[in-house]
Amino acid sequence: MSDMSEEREALRGAVADYLDANFPIDTVHRIANGKESVAADEWSKVAQGLGLAGLVIPEEFGGQGAGFGELGVVLQEFGRTLAPLPMLSSAALGTLPFLLSTDDAVRRPYLEALAAGSAPAALALTEESDSWPQAPQATTAVQSGDHWHVSGAKHYVLDNGGATFYVVSAATAHGIGLFVVDGADVVRTELHAIDLTRPQANIAFDQAPAVALVVHVGDELTRLQDLAAILVSSEQLGGADAVMRMFVEYAKIRVQFGRIIGSFQAIKHMCANTLVEVEKARGAAEDAADRAAEGEPDLALAASLAKVATSEAYTNATLTNIRVHGGIGYTWEHPAHLYFRRSRSTSALFGTPAEHREALLVGLGY
Amino acid sequence: MTTTDTTTDLEDFRLRVRDFLARNAKRVDAAGDEESQDGETVDYLTGARVWQNSLFDAGFSGLSWPKEYGGQSLTMHHQRVFNEEANGYVMPSSPFMVTLGMCAPTLLQYGTEEQRRTHVPKMLRGDEIWCQLFSEPGAGSDVAGLTTKAVRDGDEWVINGQKVWTSGAHFADYGLIVTRTNPEVPKHKGITMFIVDMKSPGVTVRPLRQMSGGSGFNEVFFDDVRVPAANLVGEIDNGWMAAIGTLMNERVSIGAGGGGLGRGTGTAQFDRLAELATKVGRIDDGAARTELASIYVEERLLAILSERMRAGLKAGKAPGPEGSIAKLSGSELGRRVADMAMSLLAESGQAWTDGEDDSLHWAQTLLGSPGGAIAGGTPEIMRNILGERSLGLPKEPQVDRDIPFKDTRTN
């Protein structure tokens, strides 16, 4: 156990060093404002240097063969820094469907490209976002001979500004399958997103050529979404923790009424309330990631619990951050709003807290 | 996971636990409301001791505690397995909560080797019940303002004063008491901890009736009570450190069922509320579902938190201020559970006829919930601890910290 946590902390340290050196929050802010951009080869450099692009891809496909526990730790660091790289979108969410597939002949080229960081993928499940978990409503896949074609549209896709491949869920004559569509074969409409540090798009495709990754996905579609919620929770946890540190540090240096403001119980108790929520959310997110790593068959309850806890801890922490900072906290130049925006966006994606609460009750038989 | 607890080992352990529980424990549904009793009756206490004896003799008491002091030196995975299996069984463990959750960990950390070897195994077996003599009428949130005196007299110390809010003093064999041994120095620097035999001449215990009607707490008076010098815990005038240790364990205990005691996988409150909501026809009501799910979430978060705290304790870490998180969350959850039940019961929550057990149960829960927030430290004190100890925020300006205790303002 201690070996494992030491390894995870070493990984966390390496990722943190890289992110702090390359994506300090001022840089992220400039990128969000369009005043700077990420180097085109940054992701493939990270893929080779730190092995992050293929972190959970088995070694036989060029990945690191790590588990969801390690992936969770890395996502926490990306959540902490808001670094605009496709860690969540491609290395986590975009990779999941290829891990579910058991057809090596089909998945090998994608996994190798993903691990190399040369062809980021994106997961596109959502159509009309009104329930959790989601099933495709209008997207269909039709087979003719050896070839599949998909038609339909997907919304709110995290694709880092444009993925090489999109994995879409689609209804077939026999059920629901997962299909890979080339980025060149979709019409991509960039969305106006509340989150300025992560692009989002709607994609549409009409009889686009597709590769059947999982022809009949069955219950695995639910598992895929549970895993997605767990991974997003890890990222949210990192953000919540970072925001808490930000305002606690400020509360230790800001002076008003002749005192450090953190000595006032009104401020101290706001900080303490955040700590309570963050530590409980940490338990839920890490517990869920560990269950995923251990291959627990039904992750639904753990996933919903984690998503509720981290969404609420994060959104509340970002609000407290602005309040503790006072006037400077709601300016454009201060990074507080970047986290506030990210927390709201990730709360809404992959099931809102309200949807996950309902899913919990249903899952418990009520 | 590493090598020490293989899956087979844990599965064997699980089967042993399952077998033991099936043969020795009562199911919750068959047992009525025993565990919600506030002032323990003689029968309940006897039954609890028998239960703890059998738990110890079968090797299930103090699972993660050191073998040399009567524990089993097993891992948190074993504790987790035990808790999972124990879910749904009555665990009459409340009389041992202070003993195992607070006093024994304090002895393990600050006691002498002889104190540990003499008492801890008996504590684990339920043969010795302990109480914690900290709060005083004039020293509540500010425990360090205590005025119960201990004065040295040869090989003995003589104690005079009054303690209050002492759980279980009426049936405890021993107590851990903190006393003022030097009023000439600032308040935190003149406090000393002792073991006191509750049967000593000069100890008077008076039950205190709470708003719930229960009498689990007591006032304890000390009139020239003599304690051997060997009963000193930690160092003379440096007892505040040990007291902090006990209080941290207390928060873990109250909030999360810590110490050597088991606790279920943590959705008992939710289960009972969901059943109630179904019974009164509100299970499909949107507002009720939202609150019900929130209670499930909070209950599970608390269970995960306490499991992680126990893992930390097992790994040799003294309980940190994280216990305050459990304490805060546990009492907040208690309030929400009681409020939701009262909302579901409506009129029938506030008056009932004989035999309406739901009403009785929830009325007891409701009337106990304000006390749950205060006992072991108020929410405000918990937030101060979290802000100051965990987050490193500065204290409020203090007027009594650096002056001799005798010169401070007291009640």
Instruction: Output the six-digit token pair for A336.
Output: 């507080």
pLDDT of residue A206: 97
| Number of neighbours of residue A323 by Cβ within 10 angstroms | 13
pLDDT band at residue B260 under the 50/70/90 scheme: very low
Q: Under an 8 A CB cutoff, do A283 and B301 touch?
A: yes
Share of chain A above pLDDT 90, in %: 93
pLDDT at B167 over 60: yes
Q: Mind listing the pLDDT tens digit for each residue in B239-253?
A: 999 998 888 877 766
Domain extent at residue A136: 121-214
- Give the gap in angstroms from C-alpha A95 to the nearest C-alpha of chain B: 25
- A164 and A97 inside one domain: no
- Give the gap in angstroms from C-alpha B104 to the nearest C-alpha of chain A: 26
Residues A56 and A63 sit within 8 Å (Cβ to Cβ): yes
AA letter at A188: R
pLDDT of residue B42: 74
Contacting residues for B126 by C-beta, under 8 A, at least 6 apart = B48, B49, B51, B52, B53, B55, B56, B61, B96
| Closest Cβ–Cβ partner in B274, B302, B393 for A271 | B393
pLDDT at A2 over 60: no
Residues of B in contact with A267 (CB under 8 A): 393
Segment B303-306 long-range contacts (CB within 8 Å, at least 24 positions apart) = B303/B256, B303/B263, B303/B264, B303/B265, B303/B266, B303/B267, B304/A280, B304/A283, B304/A284, B304/A287, B304/B266, B305/A279, B305/A280, B305/A283, B305/B256, B305/B329, B306/B252, B306/B255, B306/B256, B306/B257, B306/B258, B306/B263, B306/B266
Q: How many domains does chain B have?
A: 3
pLDDT of residue B343: 96
Contacting residues for B139 by C-beta, under 8 A, at least 6 apart = B145, B146, B147
- B269 and B361 inside one domain: yes
Q: Under an 8 A CB cutoff, do B2 and A4 touch?
A: yes
Tell me the backbone φ, ψ of residue B259, rounded to 5 degrees: 65, -150
| Number of neighbours of residue B188 by Cβ within 10 angstroms | 18
pLDDT of residue B258: 38
Q: Under an 8 A CB cutoff, do B384 and A268 touch?
A: yes
Q: Mind listing the pLDDT tens digit for each residue in A58-104?
A: 999 999 999 999 999 999 999 999 999 999 999 999 999 999 999 99
Residues A306 and A285 sit within 8 Å (Cβ to Cβ): yes
Residues of B in contact with A360 (CB under 8 A): 293, 296-297
- B15 and B95 inside one domain: yes
Domain extent at residue B69: 7-125
Residues A267 and A261 sit within 8 Å (Cβ to Cβ): yes
| Number of neighbours of residue B395 by Cβ within 10 angstroms | 13
DSSP letter string, B335-397: HHHHHHHHHHHGGGGT---TT-HHHHHHHHHHHHHHHHHHTTS-HHHHHHHIIIIIS-PPPPP
pLDDT band at residue A214 under the 50/70/90 scheme: very high
Helices (H) and strands (E) in chain B, counts: 13, 8
pLDDT of residue B40: 57
- B189 and B275 inside one domain: no
Residue at token pair 């960081």: A117
Domain end position, chosen among A83, A116, A149: A116
Q: Mind listing the pLDDT tens digit for each residue in B24-56?
A: 888 876 545 444 444 457 788 888 999 999 999
pLDDT at B321 over 50: yes
pLDDT band at residue B313 under the 50/70/90 scheme: low
Q: What is the mean pLDDT of chain B?
A: 88
pLDDT of residue B207: 94
Q: Please identify every residue of B annotated as catalytic.
A: 250
Tell me the backbone φ, ψ of residue A122, rounded to 5 degrees: -145, 145
pLDDT at B209 over 70: yes
Averaged pLDDT, A307-314: 98
The CATH number given to whatever domain includes residue B19 is 1.10.540.10
- B142 and B113 inside one domain: no
Chain A residues with CB under 8 Å of a chain B CB are 1-4, 248, 251-252, 259-260, 262-265, 267-269, 271-273, 275-276, 279-281, 283-284, 287, 305, 308-309, 354, 357-358, 360-361, 364, 366
Averaged pLDDT, A187-215: 97
pLDDT of residue B183: 96
Distances (CA, A) of B23 to B18, B27, B48, B51, B376: 9, 11, 16, 12, 35
pLDDT of residue B411: 83
- B153 and B46 inside one domain: no
Residues A242 and A23 sit within 8 Å (Cβ to Cβ): no
The CATH number given to whatever domain includes residue B215 is 2.40.110.10
The CATH number given to whatever domain includes residue A199 is 2.40.110.10
pLDDT at B190 over 80: yes
pLDDT of residue B320: 67
Which range has the worst mean pLDDT, A22-31, A121-130, A342-351? A121-130
State how far the Cα of A228 lies from the Cα of A253, in Å rounded to an integer: 39
| Closest Cβ–Cβ partner in B274, B304, B387 for A287 | B304
Averaged pLDDT, B364-392: 93
| Closest Cβ–Cβ partner in B301, B384, B388 for A284 | B301
pLDDT at B2 over 50: no
pLDDT band at residue B314 under the 50/70/90 scheme: low
| Number of neighbours of residue A89 by Cβ within 10 angstroms | 23
User: How much is the ipTM here?
Assistant: 0.94
Q: Under an 8 A CB cutoff, do B304 and A354 touch?
A: no
pLDDT at B255 over 70: no
Q: Under an 8 A CB cutoff, do B1 and A1 touch?
A: yes
Averaged pLDDT, A224-229: 96
| Closest Cβ–Cβ partner in A1, A269, A273 for B2 | A1
pLDDT of residue B38: 44
Averaged pLDDT, B345-362: 92
Most confident of the following: A158-162, B4-8, B9-13, B397-401: A158-162
- Give the gap in angstroms from C-alpha B179 to the nearest C-alpha of chain A: 29
The CATH number given to whatever domain includes residue B351 is 1.20.140.10
Strand partners, A259: A256
- Give the gap in angstroms from C-alpha B379 to the nearest C-alpha of chain A: 10
- A197 and A66 inside one domain: no
pLDDT of residue B307: 83
pLDDT at A27 over 90: yes
Q: How many domains does chain A have?
A: 3
Q: Mind listing the pLDDT tens digit for each residue in B268-302?
A: 899 999 999 999 999 999 999 999 999 999 999 99
- B136 and B116 inside one domain: no
Which range has the worst mean pLDDT, A121-130, A199-208, B272-281? A121-130
- B224 and B283 inside one domain: no
